[in-house]
Amino acid sequence: MERAAALALCLNLFISVAVCLEIYKDPSQDAEARIQDLLPRMTLAEKIGQMTQAERRVLDYAAMRDYFIGSVLNGGGSVPKGNTIQAWHKMLRTFQSGSLATRLQIPMMYGIDAVHGNNNVLGATIFPHNVGLGVTRDPDLLKRIGAATALEVRATGIQYAFSPCIATCRDPRWGRCYESYSESTDIVRNLTEIIFGLQGEPANKTAGVPFVADSSKVAACAKHYVGDGGTVNGINENNTIIDYEDLVKIHMAPYFDAIAKGVSTVMISYSSWNGIKMHANKFLITEVLKKQLNFQGFVISDWSGIDRITSPSGSNYTFSVLTAVNAGIDMIMVPFDYKSYISELTRLVNEGYISMDRIDDAVTRILRVKFTMGLFESPYPDRAFAKYLGAESHRALAREAVRRSLVLLKNGQEGSEPLLPLSKSTSKIIVAGSHADDIGLQCGGWTISWFGSSGSITKGTSILQAVRNAVSPSTEVIHERFPQPGFAKSQGADYAIVVVGEPPYAETYGDNLNLTLPLEGIPTIQNVCGEVKCLVILISGRPLVIEPYLPLMDAFVAAWLPGSEGAGITDVIFGDYDFEGTLARTWFRRVDQLPMNVGDPNYDPLFPFGFGLKTNTLLSRYCLTFKISR
Ligand SMILES: *[C@@H]1O[C@H](CO)[C@@H](O)[C@H](O)[C@H]1NC(C)=O
Ligand SMILES: *[C@@H]1O[C@H](CO)[C@@H](O)[C@H](O)[C@H]1NC(C)=O
Ligand SMILES: *[C@@H]1O[C@H](CO)[C@@H](O)[C@H](O)[C@H]1NC(C)=O
Ligand SMILES: *[C@@H]1O[C@H](CO)[C@@H](O)[C@H](O)[C@H]1NC(C)=O
Ligand SMILES: *[C@@H]1O[C@H](CO)[C@@H](O)[C@H](O)[C@H]1NC(C)=O
């Protein structure tokens, strides 16, 4: 008995000592102590697994367990069947239980492109794209949007958002220009405040140290480092030709702010700087980002970004892995053939082409983010957050953002009354145009699917619905998508609202050298505005060629890509709120002027950077009364 008891005690002691010694599992220890404890326990295979991010469609429980996969993502529109909160939770639980079935039980982190709300998910609040948010210039608004987005991402059980894009878009011909806040670096810098919303705001700010407050927040990702918005002719993923001083001043400066605010991760740009692919640029990644800027989170590649180091893409994968990892990239967004990536990287380490120090640096950074964000303590989706997806308070916030992102560019023909604010109690109005009654078109790319699409793709309020809700019950609202000549006149309406714009697009598919108004926007404007007083609302990811048609319009509003809350537009055009937005982009006259940015010599825009009219509601009402009584 005594012997057995002693043995039991011994065993007990042994177990508790062993547990105690697992410092990395002890949340009361700081992240650095936990890393120092965990890293030496890891085999090369376990380390390389952490450096791997693969797409959900190629993974399952066994793959997570057997390859020690450190991170999972989904491409735009790659969603679990049904796209419900339950489906997301189930998928994440499966992946996570695979990770936790490994020897060291290191949890995976799941990343998603939540670039204007949690935009892949049905029923999520869709916020305006960054091009509209830039107009507001309001860091506090961005912080509130970041906080709401974090909750909607957590609603699906996800812990990591590939956001914010802090590109300074210098040429609207670029297909990703709408993902940029502005052509002005200062505006982009200020709006990195969204990071405090996504991740929380540290009480003890130590520049460079990643920070995620708790499990209501997510790890953020500043992207795409660096120069993505400066490519030749705005060609996506192309070459940014600029000297180092201007690269820093125009494109890199927002990273100073993101890093100071504790951003957890930085994504590398597909583009090149003076002919060298960023994914291969050791100087800018290791020397500048990690050493000079003291960034201590992890660096992630873009989707197949390392493949494109070689041409044709992926033709020498060994070279891609070697170059990217030695340049300083810590986690590779593979995304599909993770087995080849793992075996190439393993071989390159075993043969001495990549040092163990480099691997340890990468894994240290990845673990630092995982420990800091509390992933070991709460690895699984928490049902308590489900209620935040598409919450009314978030929709109200998105509506506020829409209101404040609108820019009034024309109000009334010269010498005549302003058209805005519109009357809500007139007898008859026409609402026309491709974008008047289409949630998908007003949300743009990166909505439910990668490119986005037209139609009732998710919950929201179209502009037509918002108009119907806003006007008096006695007002007749006539809706005609493509009015023919004579239609508007025949209706005897008091005025028309014409909503036209671009189709949804993403990345290279949005590159456009002509920037003309598509989807029969021009004939629609001509047919309606020639016959009745009209307000034209443009839904687009960037300024378009508008000068030739401007004389036809009585009023003109740039609404960018407003997202799901169309009522933000009617709040302002009917005068419940005043316009307050001013352009955060230069409105060019002709594409042959591009690139043209504020401060350039020979600056000759249609509307300059910073332009935006106000409607002083009270004053216009007074004038109207005055005129009538006279
Ligand atoms: C950036 O924020 C600072 C501090 O709030 C403010 O003074 C400055 O005007 C802002 N700059 C821009 C371009 O919005
Ligand atoms: C802030 O954090 C740094 C780095 O983690 C640490 O050295 C410093 O003591 C902290 N300061 C306070 C006031 O907690
Ligand atoms: C830039 O685009 C041109 C034209 O498509 C292409 O030939 C060139 O390889 C691209 N350069 C880079 C660095 O991607
Ligand atoms: C691929 O890259 C590796 C590593 O740089 C090099 O040794 C090899 O020769 C390349 N293979 C081809 C076919 O170019
Ligand atoms: C403008 O460019 C886009 C994108 O390349 C193309 O689809 C469209 O047809 C062009 N429009 C005109 C009028 O040339």
Residue 619 has pLDDT above 70, yes or no: no
Asked whether the beta carbons of 214 and 164 are under 8 A apart, the reply is: no
Cβ(239) – ligand 3 distance below 6 Å? yes
pLDDT, tens only, 27-72: 999 999 999 999 999 999 999 999 999 999 999 999 999 999 999 9
- Whole-number mean pLDDT of the chain? 95
Averaged pLDDT, 315-324: 98
Residue 401 lies in a domain: yes
Annotated active-site residue 66? The verdict is no
Q: How far is the CA of 239 from the centre of ligand 3 (A)?
A: 7
> DSSP code of 214?
S
What are residue 526's phi and psi, to 5 degrees? -65, -45
Instruction: Specify the pLDDT at position 7.
Output: 56
Q: Which atom of ligand 2 is nearest to the CA of 30?
A: 5
pLDDT, tens only, 251-298: 999 999 999 999 999 999 999 999 999 999 999 999 999 999 999 999
Q: How far is the CA of 5 from the centre of ligand 1 (A)?
A: 70
Model confidence at 625, pLDDT cuts 50, 70, 90, reads very low
Cβ(187) – ligand 1 distance below 6 Å? yes
Ligand with an atom nearest the CA of residue 186: 1
Asked whether the beta carbons of 538 and 547 are under 8 A apart, the reply is: no
Q: Which atom of ligand 3 is nearest to the CA of 239?
A: 13
Write out the two tokens for 108: 């995976």
User: Length of the chain, please?
Assistant: 630
The CATH number linked to 521 is: 3.40.50.1700
Instruction: Specify the pLDDT at position 383.
Output: 98
Q: Which atom of ligand 1 is nearest to the CA of 186?
A: 13
Residue 247 lies in a domain: no
Residue 613 lies in a domain: yes
Q: What percent of the chain has pLDDT over 70?
A: 94
Residue 212 lies in a domain: no
Q: Which residues line ligand 2 (CB under 6 A)?
A: 204, 206, 209
**Secondary structure string (H, E, C) spanning 368-420:** HHHHHCCCCCCCCCCHHHHHHCCCHHHHHHHHHHHHHHCEEEEECCCCCCCCC
pLDDT, tens only, 562-598: 999 999 999 999 999 999 999 999 999 999 999 999 9
Closest CA to 434 of 477, 496, 483: 483
Output the residue whose Cα is nearest ligand 2's atom 1: 204
Averaged pLDDT, 172-183: 98
Averaged pLDDT, 80-99: 98
Instruction: Specify the pLDDT at position 15.
Output: 52
Cβ(416) – ligand 5 distance below 6 Å? no
Residue 542 lies in a domain: yes
Residue 551 has pLDDT above 60, yes or no: yes
Q: Which atom of ligand 3 is nearest to the CA of 311?
A: 9
Cβ(30) – ligand 1 distance below 6 Å? no
Instruction: Specify the pLDDT at position 203.
Output: 86
**Secondary structure string (H, E, C) spanning 159-191:** CEECCCECCECCCCCCCCHHHCCECCHHHHHHH
**What beta strand segments (E) does 76-220 contain?**
109-112, 160-161
Annotated active-site residue 26? The verdict is no
Q: How far is the CA of 236 from the centre of ligand 3 (A)?
A: 9
Ligand with an atom nearest the CA of residue 276: 3
Cβ(353) – ligand 4 distance below 6 Å? no
Q: Identify the residue whose tokens are 């049902």.
A: 383
Instruction: Specify the pLDDT at position 1.
Output: 46
Instruction: Specify the pLDDT at position 5.
Output: 57
Model confidence at 18, pLDDT cuts 50, 70, 90, reads low
Output the residue whose Cα is nearest ligand 4's atom 5: 319
Averaged pLDDT, 156-166: 98
Residue 305 lies in a domain: no
The span from the first CA to the last CA of the chain, in angstroms, equals 111
Cβ(512) – ligand 5 distance below 6 Å? yes
Instruction: Specify the pLDDT at position 24.
Output: 98
Cβ burial of 513 (10 Å; 0-12, 13-18, 19+) is: exposed
Averaged pLDDT, 552-571: 98
From 232, 238, 277, the mutation candidate for ligand 3 (largest count of ligand atoms within 8 A of CB) is 238
Instruction: Specify the pLDDT at position 621.
Output: 42
pTM of the model: 0.94
Output the residue whose Cα is nearest ligand 2's atom 7: 206
Asked whether the beta carbons of 166 and 260 are under 8 A apart, the reply is: no
Model confidence at 21, pLDDT cuts 50, 70, 90, reads confident
Helices (H), 173-309: 185-191, 194-199, 244-246, 253-260, 282
pLDDT, tens only, 466-502: 999 999 999 999 999 999 999 999 999 999 999 999 9
Cα distances from 9 to residues 1, 18, 20, 21, in angstroms, run 12, 14, 16, 18
Q: How far is the CA of 279 from the centre of ligand 3 (A)?
A: 15
pLDDT, tens only, 418-427: 999 999 999 9
Output the residue whose Cα is nearest ligand 2's atom 3: 206
Q: How far is the CA of 39 from the centre of ligand 3 (A)?
A: 41
Least trusted range by pLDDT, from 201-205, 341-345, 445-449: 201-205
The one catalytic residue in 228, 302, 344, 571 is 302
Averaged pLDDT, 159-181: 98
Residue 4 has pLDDT above 60, yes or no: no
Residue 121 neighbours by CB under 8 Å, 6+ apart: 79, 83, 85, 88, 152, 155, 156, 389
Residue 628 has pLDDT above 50, yes or no: no
From 34, 204, 368, the mutation candidate for ligand 2 (largest count of ligand atoms within 8 A of CB) is 204
Q: How far is the CA of 259 from the centre of ligand 2 (A)?
A: 16
Residue 527 lies in a domain: yes
Model confidence at 387, pLDDT cuts 50, 70, 90, reads very high
What are residue 72's phi and psi, to 5 degrees? -125, 150
Residue 431 lies in a domain: yes
Instruction: Specify the pLDDT at position 17.
Output: 52
Output the residue whose Cα is nearest ligand 4's atom 2: 319
Q: How many domains does the chain have?
A: 1
Residue 10 has pLDDT above 90, yes or no: no
Model confidence at 20, pLDDT cuts 50, 70, 90, reads low
Cβ(326) – ligand 4 distance below 6 Å? no
Residue 556 has pLDDT above 50, yes or no: yes
Residue type, 519: L
Closest CA to 543 of 177, 137, 166: 177
Averaged pLDDT, 241-257: 98
Instruction: Specify the pLDDT at position 615.
Output: 87
Residue 620 has pLDDT above 50, yes or no: no
Ligand with an atom nearest the CA of residue 516: 5
Range of the domain at 513: 392-629
Residue 360 has pLDDT above 50, yes or no: yes
- How large is the angle between the packed helices 338-350 and 317-327, nearest 10 degrees? 70
Q: How far is the CA of 471 from the centre of ligand 5 (A)?
A: 37
Cβ(140) – ligand 1 distance below 6 Å? no
Write out the two tokens for 156: 């699906």
Q: How far is the CA of 182 from the centre of ligand 1 (A)?
A: 13
Q: How far is the CA of 353 from the centre of ligand 4 (A)?
A: 13
Q: Which atom of ligand 3 is nearest to the CA of 237?
A: 14
CA angle 105, 107, 113 (to 5 degrees): 165
Q: How far is the CA of 186 from the centre of ligand 2 (A)?
A: 29
Ligand with an atom nearest the CA of residue 351: 4
Helices (H), 200-292: 244-246, 253-260, 282
Residue 14 has pLDDT above 80, yes or no: no
Output the residue whose Cα is nearest ligand 4's atom 4: 319
Asked whether the beta carbons of 615 and 418 are under 8 A apart, the reply is: yes
Cβ(514) – ligand 5 distance below 6 Å? yes
